[in-house]
Structure 1
């Protein structure tokens, strides 16, 4: 059951009409994009009842075993987001009662973000639930299938890194 987005079906139909080679590779890429989007949407739907986005969930996860909290810049670095983004995430989590900002005892300019009791309970319950959901996406895979899948994904990453597709050449221009 492959659910391609309309835009991808249209591109495939046009590529087939023009007899473009490698439409099988195009289809595989579009299927991967569709699957990724479906996983993202399902993740968002699972977190939404808790007033969480994936970004906010990551912050809860990072704080769950940090009783002294973390500074906003440490959270940004660990979550892989900008400091501007982390400010918005913390503001939302604070507004919803999941975290609080605490001034440092020695230096009041230093801020630590810590989980509230609500944040701690939510994080602990969702960690197991989220892990189970992720594991369920790969239900029935054998160890060999996991290894094969991982290898195929690594090959795609390598192809992307090496830039095997031409870029910025006159031939690559539409």
Structure 2
């Protein structure tokens, strides 16, 4: 069963109608994009009842093993977002009672972001729930199938060309 988004079905039909090119690769790309979108939507739906976005969830996760907290710029660097974005994420998490900002006793210019008790509780429970959900997406895959999928995705990254290295690829 392949579910393509409407926009991808329309593009594929038009490409087939025009016989512009072989559409097998186009279909594979659209299938991957549609699957990615469906995973993103499901993730958002799972986090929404907790008043969380994926970005806020990442911040909770990053703080979950940091009893002294982290500075906002450290959170931004680790999450891969801008400092302006991290400010908005922290503001929302603070408003919902999941984090608090604390000034350093010796240097009030220094600021740390820490989980509150409710933030720790939600982070701990959601980490387990989220991990189980991700694992369920690949239920039934054998080790060989995981390796094959990984290899195929690596080839797509390579074919992407300049700037297309996977985000977690080791630097040369």
Global fold match (TM > 0.5): yes
Gaps of 5+ in 1: 164-174
> What's the CA shift for 1:162?
4.5
**CA distance in structure 1 between the partners assigned to 2:72 and 2:162 by the alignment:** 35
SS of equivalent residue, structure 2 residue 161: helix
- TM-score normalised per structure 2: 0.93
Alpha carbon RMSD of aligned pairs, Å?
Answer: 1.2
Within the alignment, does 1:98 sit opposite 2:98 as a pair? yes
Moved over 3 A (4+): none
* 1:159 aligned onto 2:159: yes
CA distance in 2, matches of 1:115, 1:97: 9
The offset of 1:105, in angstroms, is: 1.1
C-alpha separation in 1, matches of 2:42 and 2:36: 10
Q: Which runs of 5+ in 2 are unaligned?
A: 164-172
Residue number in structure 2 paired with 1:52: 52
Answer with 96-105 or 12-21: which moved more. 12-21
Q: Aligned pair count? A: 164
Equivalent-residue separation in structure 2 for 1:16 and 1:153 (angstroms)? 25
SS in structure 1 opposite 2:56? helix
Match of 1:149 in 2: 149
